[in-house]
Structure 1
Amino acid sequence: MLWFVGLGISGLEGASANAIQVLKKADMVYFENFTSPIGRTELSKIKKLVRGKMTIAPRWMVEDGKAILLLAKKKNVVLLAYGDPYVATTHLELRTRAEKDKIKTKTIHAASAITSLIGECGLHHYKIGRPVTIMRELPSLSTVYYTIYENMVKGNHSLLILEFDNSSNFFLNPKDALSSLLETENGQRRNVIDQSTFAIVASRIGSKSQKIISGKLSSLVKVDFGKPPHTIIIPGKLHFTEHDAIKIFSKCFDEPFDNSSKIQKISDQMLSKYVPKARKALEEVTKMLKDDPSLKPVIENAQLYIDDSEKFQRDGQEELAVLSIGYAEGLMDALRLSKGIDPWAQSL
């Protein structure tokens, strides 16, 4: 038997009675230590509860899984994790392998810091977009940046999980994560993150020292957030109840506001540049070729494609809008190549 047991967000004191009983009866408890740091006091309490039948399981042991599965074929084994056991994809993969190997599995779910902090910050769960992890290496920030961008386009909030490496006792500091995002903006330039962006930093959720601090990035980069773990939330469009809750539930340095209001879709950014450029080029083409009646249908079609592009954009059909402006440009490029003119020179 292989049990997947969640410890919850408050340690052993907050564990369910069922979880306590399962831990007491286990032949072996593997306590994974790579999804959240384990305090010495908490570790001591759990060791005492399971009468010493416990092994600290680093990431490689759970990912490999062979020793855990081999023992679970004969004994009553528990994989213990902070929060809910299935927040980590590694645990899901281990359960899949166990079931394929005819090892019976059972689960005891518990609150997860990832899900709990949303309500603790005063936000609505259904408005959380795709979560993403911020790593210490700067090149990886482009994925984080575009995840925030995509969430904001939809008006959703972005949940940013900070890198944690128990083997080296490393936990990414929120100030370093925010500074890296600002540096990434300098390279990407889509107006996703700047000093005025409103963010929330949730620290040690579920513990007695829980702290939630919010404000503009210019305010947050000056704060000492204390010991880990920390999670950052970049809000999208705020409901008025979320706005009010943030001010009450957190230490709020600045008035909460809608970060998504300044965001433009990539297609809109393209069209705002290409449509005026195409109109200017079409004016030049018309002037240059006005004496050739045979080219009038080509010019008229280019005009219609530009008009269609603007109509599609107004109707929210961005893909068709981009295609239409591309067709217009294609017609004018064909005239440029066949007639030896350059209408684009005046439109740059």
Structure 2
Amino acid sequence: MLWFVGLGISGFKSIPNEAIDVLSKADMVYLEQFTSPISKSDLTKIKKATKGEFRPAKRWLVEDGNEILENAKKKKVVLLSYGDPYIATTHIELRERAIKEKIKTHSIHASSSLTSMIGECGLHFYKVGRIATIMSEMKSLTTPYYVIYKNVIEGNHTVLLLEFNQDKDFFLDPKDALNGLLETEKGQRRKVISSSTFAIVASRIGFKDQEIVSGKISSLKKRDFGKPPHTVIIPGRLHFTESDALKVLGECIDEPFDNATKTRKISAQMIEKYVPMVREALEEVEPYYKDQKEYQVILENAELYVRDAEKFLEDGQDEVAILSIGYADGLVDALRLAKGLDPKM
């Protein structure tokens, strides 16, 4: 038998009563700590509540899963984790494998910091978009950067988990995460993140010393956020009740505002850039064909494609808009090449 048990978000005191009973009857208890650190005092209390064998489980042991599954075929085994057991996809996969191997599984759910911090900040949970993780390696920030972009465009909030390495006792500092996003902006240049972007840093949610600080990135970079774990949230479109709550439920350095108003779709940015370029090239090439009627249809089509691009973008048909400006660009380039002109604009 294999139990998946959540610790909750407040250490040992948040463990459900049902879980305490299960721990006392289990033959083996694995405690994974790679999703979030657990204090020494809580570790001691968990050990005392465990009557069978207790074993801290590193990431590789849970991801491999073979030892846990083999023991669960003959014994009552518990996999204990911070928060809710199924926030980590590794645990879901392990349960799937257990069921396929005819091992009985049971679950005891608990509060998760992911869901709790949204309410603690005063944000609306249904507005949370895709979640991303920020690692210390700079080149890996492209993915969370575009996750923020897509969420903000839709008006949704982005929860950014920060790298935690159990073996090295390393937790990425929120300031380093924010600086990493600013550096990524320099390379991507999509106007998603700037020093004036409004952000939230939620620290140690569920503990007595929890702290929620919000403000512009430029303001947050000056703060010391203390002990981990920390989470960064980039809000999208803030409802007035969310803005009001942020000012009451935490420390609000700067007046809350919508990040969604500052970020525009990449397609809109592209059309804004390429329409004038194509029109300028079209005007330049037209005099070369003014006496050649057989080319007038091509010139007219190029102009129509430019107009279509603007109209499609206005109607929300982004992909078709990009295709249209691409067709116009192609026709103009062909006309330039036919006259020996450089097609590059």
- Indicate the TM-score class for this superposition, using the shorter chain for normalisation: over 0.9
Q: For residues 177 and 273 of structure 1, what CA distance do their matches in structure 2 show?
A: 30
Q: For residues 326 and 175 of structure 1, what CA distance do their matches in structure 2 show?
A: 41
Q: For residues 137 and 201 of structure 2, what CA distance do their matches in structure 1 show?
A: 20
**Per-residue CA distance 1:217-268 (angstroms, 9 max, x = gap):** 1111111111000000011111111111111111010001001111111111
Aligned-partner residue type, residue 228 of structure 1: P
> In structure 1, what is the equivalent of residue 211 of structure 2?
211
> In structure 1, what is the equivalent of residue 228 of structure 2?
228
Aligned-partner residue type, residue 19 of structure 2: A
1:160 counterpart SS class: strand
Q: For residues 52 and 18 of structure 2, what CA distance do their matches in structure 1 show?
A: 19
> In structure 2, what is the equivalent of residue 64 of structure 1?
64
Aligned-partner residue type, residue 87 of structure 1: I
2:27–2:51: 8 Å Cα contact kept in structure 1? no
2:190 counterpart SS class: coil
2:26–2:52: 8 Å Cα contact kept in structure 1? no
Q: For residues 104 and 52 of structure 2, what CA distance do their matches in structure 1 show?
A: 24
With the length of structure 2 as denominator, give the TM-score of the two structures.
0.97
1:5–1:81: 8 Å Cα contact kept in structure 2? yes
Q: Stretches of 4+ moved more than 4 A in 1?
A: none
Q: Name the stretch that deviates more: 173-182 or 230-239.
A: 173-182
> In structure 2, what is the equivalent of residue 170 of structure 1?
170
1:103 counterpart SS class: coil
> In structure 1, what is the equivalent of residue 135 of structure 2?
135
RMSD: 1.3
> In structure 2, what is the equivalent of residue 322 of structure 1?
322
2:331 counterpart SS class: helix
> In structure 2, what is the equivalent of residue 336 of structure 1?
336
Q: Name the stretch that deviates more: 333-342 or 269-278.
A: 333-342
Aligned length: 345
Aligned-partner residue type, residue 181 of structure 2: L
> In structure 2, what is the equivalent of residue 285 of structure 1?
285
Q: For residues 321 and 10 of structure 1, what CA distance do their matches in structure 2 show?
A: 51
> In structure 1, what is the equivalent of residue 185 of structure 2?
185
Q: For residues 338 and 318 of structure 1, what CA distance do their matches in structure 2 show?
A: 31
Q: For residues 323 and 184 of structure 1, what CA distance do their matches in structure 2 show?
A: 27
Aligned-partner residue type, residue 240 of structure 2: F
1:167 counterpart SS class: coil
> In structure 2, what is the equivalent of residue 301 of structure 1?
301
TM-fit CA distance, 1:341: 3.7
1:47–1:53: 8 Å Cα contact kept in structure 2? no
**Per-residue CA distance 1:292-325 (angstroms, 9 max, x = gap):** 1121111111111111111111111111111111
Unaligned 5+ residue runs, structure 1? none
Q: For residues 2 and 164 of structure 2, what CA distance do their matches in structure 1 show?
A: 26
> In structure 2, what is the equivalent of residue 5 of structure 1?
5
Aligned-partner residue type, residue 308 of structure 2: D
**Per-residue CA distance 1:65-104 (angstroms, 9 max, x = gap):** 1111111111111000010001111111111111111000
Unaligned 5+ residue runs, structure 2? none
2:5 counterpart SS class: strand
Percent identity over paired residues = 64
1:337 counterpart SS class: helix
**Per-residue CA distance 1:44-75 (angstroms, 9 max, x = gap):** 11111113631101111111111111111111
Listed as ranges, the matches of 1:25-104 within 5 Å are: 25-51=25-51, 53-104=53-104
With the length of structure 1 as denominator, give the TM-score of the two structures.
0.96
1:261 counterpart SS class: coil
